[in-house]
Amino acid sequence: MLTRSMRKPLLGLLCACGLAGSSLHAGLPDFAAAPYPVAADQWPFVGGDPAGTWFSALRDINDTNAGQLGFAWAYDMGTDRGQEATPLVIDGVMYTSGVWGIVYALDATNGKLLWQFDPGIDPASARNACCDTVNRGIAVRDGVVFVASEDGRLHALDAKTGAEKWAADTIINRHQTYASTGAVVLTSDAVVIGNSGADLGDGSTRGYISAWDIKTGAFKWRFFTVPPAPGQPFEHPELALAAKSWGPDHDGRYQNGGTVWDGLSYDAQTDQIVFGTANASPYVRAKSAAERHDDLFNASIIAVDAHSGRMNWYYQETPGDAWDYDAVQKFIFANLPVGGETRRVVMQASKNGFYYTLDLKSGKLLAADAFTYVNWASGVDLATGRPHFTPIADYSAKPKNVYPSWAGGHTWNPMSFSPTTGLVYIPTLDVPNVMVNLPRNGGELDHLEGFFNANGIIPDDTYDVPTLSRLFGPLPSKAELQKERGKTSLVREVLKAWDPVAHKVVWEHVTSEGNRGYDGGVLSTAGNIVVQGRGDGTLRVYNATTGAQITAIQTGTHIMAAPMTYRIGGVQYIAVQAGYGGIGISYPIPPGDAAYRNMNTNRILVFKLGGGPVPQPQLRPDPFDYPAPPALNATPAVIARGEAKFTEFCSRCHVFGPGVTPDLSRLPAEVHAMFNDIVLKGALAGLGMAPLNDMVSPGDVDAIHAYLIDQQRQGYTAQHKNTATN
């Protein structure tokens, strides 16, 4: 592990939100969480404080009265895609970001719009966003709002008016599939931003973070997470170490991935930026043990000096990642008792299913424990930091059902650390996927956009073995998969209260089962409550100590983002952004939620004690009717080819059934008439459908269209048959 001593002395350890020893529960250590106190009435950082705890010292709403929560006000954001940001409240103003990086400033007492900033994104650039045109938050300091727009531009805005003070283009190559969806982070003198794209295209993105002067937007430094092509000079010395880990078959045509699309954090006490990196790109996902190389610095946690951008330390969570185990989940800084002494630590519930605790100054691994069901590794060696791989990790010759799935045991949805209970509240995915080596498994596909040469098929209620086996090759039955878990559902989401000192789950609630609900992030407070939104549209409040549910408020809108809380005029509010999307863009709205047909209506919802019922959004028209299909003269072979090409290139965004993007099996006649112009010429680029002429041929498009007409014909016939029968 590469380390170097820190030149700056540690500052005094101060507790988050002004919580000093006597305010903590008896018997608990003094969990100092933040570098300096935060005014409890406000929420000035995306994570509540610089430590990213998603915790508030407010206690007016608490475990004795939270059942009285009700509607205070709402703001319609005017969009209908995924909402993943947590608002900020500073001096009575709520600042937040929505899709594309649109910024809103609202009166935090009533939701009145003060100003709005639209970065003017070319909708065609949505193609570069892996998982919807989302944005995970902004930063505010000294009267300036900072946001990264979806196209990778960094904007500094006047906090009073929304006027742009400066802008910087942070993308190093506009011909590559870069996008920015994460929240920016501020150091003492810089704005730092990452980007995404490691899952897309032909592997044409190379991960990095870059720092820009906080006052002028001038470029300061850039840290690349992966080495350049063989034979090219290293931009900084750390890349020489990384290059040695890529093995002899490192193909210089590709950019290696390792993007930093979320989880950027800054610790003032050590004056360093801590961030995680994503998967390699492109990569042979189906690797045998003999083929596996570490591929540094992918799937790693890295700490760099905030002024120079030089690496202080790194730790690789998943060497030779073959399962899409990005390490970009959000971090929490805290003081924990370790081995009889208090250590300043960084904690992460990783996508790979292990809860990691590292010394924040040195990067030394202190703990790594499974917080959810894991079968790709049996544990982590604390001396070497390396996982103990199991035979299930190798799916190169045969499909394996791997826990956690590519979606992770925990993903971008924020977890929360309460210094009053000493517990971390984790929105957990207890979900597997059947990992398939596409070229070797005998199916029709050898490529899948976003997965390269492999696929991870989640065995939920839509797991149709005959259809899937035709495309991907022979797959295990659901009954066979169920044997491993016994009576536990194969697919479920769970809210877990995790003790990071005792390394165990204290309490848990199953929040969805059978299908992913895409449930939200978590807030905890000194009022001994935990707040989480769910995919079924409810905002739920739990007792933070016992896990007992206190209340559930139906909002009518899917909630993925984490809530926050603030107080104005003596009134405490809880707020959350709501709207379905994100990675869920490529899945139908969960069946239990689809009845609302309004789950991705984008709103900011605010609650207070004594409030009323939440106004429900207007219901959508029934999306299940099939229009009459056009004539179809294609052969079964062409239709089959179209199914394969649709799966390869279109299924990343489009699903059959109610979802965020249009259901292409239910197209009206006018869309059928312009189908080729849409796909090849970008006729609907203004709505976010970029042309795919560099990925598919005219013959491919004809085959895809034939397949979709055939699907519509089958649905239309069945629909009218059922109508006649009834």
User: Lowest-pLDDT range, 102-116, 169-183, 256-270, 642-656?
Assistant: 642-656
Specify the pLDDT at position 135: 93
Q: Is the pLDDT of residue 236 over 80?
A: yes
Confidence of residue 505 (pLDDT cuts 50, 70, 90): very high
Whole-number Å distance between alpha carbons of 273 and 154: 18
Residue whose tokens read 């991907």: 472
**Smallest Cα–Cα separation from 363: which of 261, 226, 244, 270?**
270
Confidence at residue 618, expressed as pLDDT on a 0 to 100 scale: 74
Q: What is the pTM of this model?
A: 0.87
| DSSP code of residue 323 | S
Residue type, 474: P
Q: Structure tokens of 311?
A: 């690496």
Measured between its terminal Cα atoms, the distance across the chain in Å is: 69
CA–CA dist 289, 300 (Å, integer): 19
Is the predicted pLDDT of residue 2 greater than 80, yes or no?
A: no
Compute the distance between CA of residue 410 and CA of residue 348 in angstroms, rounded to an integer.
9
Degrees (nearest 5) of the Cα angle 78, 81, 86? 85
Over residues 216-229, mean pLDDT: 96
Cis status, amide bond into 623, omega within 30 of 0: no
pLDDT in tens, 13-32: 223 333 333 233 334 445 54
Work out the average pLDDT over 383-404.
95
Give the C-alpha separation, 614 to 604, whole Å. Answer: 12
d(CA 706, CA 699): 11
- Non-local (6+) Cβ contacts of 379 within 8 A are 368, 370, 387, 388
Give pLDDT, residue 14. 28
CB atoms within 10 A of CB 391: 10
Residue 342: pLDDT above 90?
A: yes
Give yes or no for residue 221 having a pLDDT over 90.
yes
- Calculate the average pLDDT of the chain: 86
Range with lowest mean pLDDT among 49-53, 61-65, 225-229, 699-703: 699-703
Q: Which of 59-68, 625-634, 671-680, 686-695 has the lowest mean pLDDT?
A: 686-695
Q: Is the pLDDT of residue 590 over 80?
A: no
Q: DSSP per residue over 660-709, as a string? A: SS--TTS--HHHHHTHHHHHHH-TTGGGT----TTTS-HHHHHHHHHHHH
Q: Give 690 or 341, the one with higher predicted confidence.
A: 341
Domains and CATH numbers, the chain: 96-102+114-330 (2.140.10.10), 636-725 (1.10.760.10)
Which strands, in side-by-side order, build the sheet including 492-499? 416-418, 423-430, 492-499, 504-513
CB 604 within 8 A of CB 577: yes
Between 3-17, 51-65, 405-419, the lowest mean confidence (pLDDT) is in 3-17
pLDDT at 15: 33
Tokens of 5: 């001593």
Report the pLDDT value the prediction gives residue 599, as an integer from 0 to 100.
Answer: 62
* Cα dist from 378 to 354, 373, 375, 387, 390, whole Å: 10, 10, 7, 7, 6
Q: Are strands 522-525 and 55-56 parallel, antiparallel or unpaired?
A: parallel
Residue 241: strand, helix, or coil:
helix
DSSP symbol at 448 = B
The more confidently predicted of residues 251 and 628 is 628
How does pLDDT run across 656-707, given as a tens digit for each residue? Answer: 666 667 788 888 888 888 988 888 887 887 666 777 777 788 888 888 898 8
Evaluate if residue 500 carries a pLDDT over 90.
yes
CB atoms within 10 A of CB 222: 15
**Looking at residue 720, what is its pLDDT?**
75
> How does residue 373 score in pLDDT terms, banded at 50, 70 and 90?
very high
Q: Which residues contact 395 (CB under 8 A, 6 or more apart)?
A: 286, 322, 402, 435, 436, 437, 454
Task: Please give the average per-residue pLDDT across 590-599, as a whole number.
Answer: 50
Q: What is the pLDDT of residue 32?
A: 44
Task: Dump pLDDT digits (tens) for 400-414.
Answer: 999 999 999 999 999
Q: Tokens 């960084």: give the residue.
A: 346
| Cα distance between residue 636 and residue 464, in whole Å | 20
| pLDDT higher than 80, residue 419 | yes
Helix or strand holding residue 501 (H, E): none
Residue 640 scores a pLDDT above 90:
no
Residue 382 has pLDDT above 70, yes or no: yes
Q: CA-to-CA distance for 511 and 423, rounded, in angstroms? A: 19
> What is the token pair recorded at 696?
């598919």
Give pLDDT, residue 625: 80
Task: State the virtual CA torsion across 60, 65, 71, 74 in degrees, nearest 10.
Answer: 30
Return the pLDDT at 37.
55
pLDDT score of 456 more than 80: yes
- Mean pLDDT is lowest, of 120-134, 245-259, 350-364, 616-630, for 120-134
pLDDT at residue 231 in the model? 86
Per-residue DSSP letters for 459-484?
Answer: -STT--HHHHHHHH-----HHHHHTT
Helix (H, G, I), strand (E, B) or coil at 222: strand
Residue 205's φ and ψ, nearest 5 degrees, are: -120, 145
The residue type found at 114 is L
Tell me how far apart the alpha carbons of residues 55 and 165 are, in angstroms, rounded to a whole number.
32
Q: Which residues pair with 168 in a beta bridge?
A: 154
Question: Among the listed ranges 75-79, 563-567, 712-716, which one has the minimum average pLDDT value?
Answer: 712-716
Higher pLDDT, 524 or 438: 524
Burial 674-702 (b: 16+ CB within 10 A, else e): ebeebbbebbbbeebbbbbeeebeeebbb
What pLDDT, on a 0 to 100 scale, did the predictor assign at position 678?
85
The three state secondary structure string of 120-172 is CCCHHHHHHCCCCCCCCCCEEECCEEEEECCCCEEEEEECCCCCEEEEEECCC
Place of tokens 């081995």: 339
Q: What percent of the chain has pLDDT over 90?
A: 60
Output DSSP code: residue 87.
-
Catalytic residue set: 324
Under 8 Å between Cβ of 523 and 537: no
Residue 232 has pLDDT above 70, yes or no: yes
For residue 650, the model assigns a pLDDT of 75
**Residue 720 is encoded by which pair of tokens?**
């009218």
pLDDT band at 571 (very low <50, low <70, confident <90, very high): very high
Q: In what order do the strands lie in the sheet with 164-169?
A: 139-141, 144-148, 153-158, 164-169
| 420 — pLDDT class (breaks 50, 70, 90) | very high
Distance of CA 571 to the CA centre of its chain: 32
Determine the pLDDT at residue 34: 41
For the chain, give the number of residues.
726
Residues 6+ apart with CB under 8 A from 350: 317, 325, 327, 329, 356, 408, 409, 410
What is the residue type of 465? V
CA atoms within 13 A on the CB side of 211: 22
Highest mean pLDDT pick, 72-76, 618-622, 627-631: 72-76
The share of the chain scoring above pLDDT 70, in percent, equals 85
The rounded distance, in Å, linking the Cα atoms of 357 and 355 is: 7
Spatial neighbors of 296 by CB under 8 A, at least 6 apart, are 226, 241, 242, 245, 246, 314, 316
Angstrom distances, CA of residue 279 to CA of 258, 270, 317, 553 = 5, 27, 11, 38
Give the start-end residues of each E strand in 517-588: 522-525, 529-533, 538-543, 549-554, 564-568, 571-578
Evaluate whether 582 touches 84 at the Cβ level (below 8 Å): yes
Close Cβ partners of 388 (under 8 Å, ≥ 6 residues apart): 377, 378, 379, 380, 381
CA-based nearest residue to 17, from 652, 565, 684: 565
Given a cut of 60, whether residue 126 has pLDDT beyond it is no
Tell how strand 164-169 and strand 153-158 pair up.
antiparallel
Q: What is the pLDDT of residue 130?
A: 64
What is the CB neighbour count within 10 angstroms for residue 568? 16
Residue 86 identity: T
Mean pLDDT, to the nearest integer, of 50-68?
97
Query: Which of the 8 DSSP states describes residue 622?
Result: P
Distance CA 116, CA 96 (A): 10
pLDDT for the residue 9:
25
Distance of CA 281 to the CA centre of its chain: 18
**341-349 and 549-554 beta bridge pairing:** unpaired
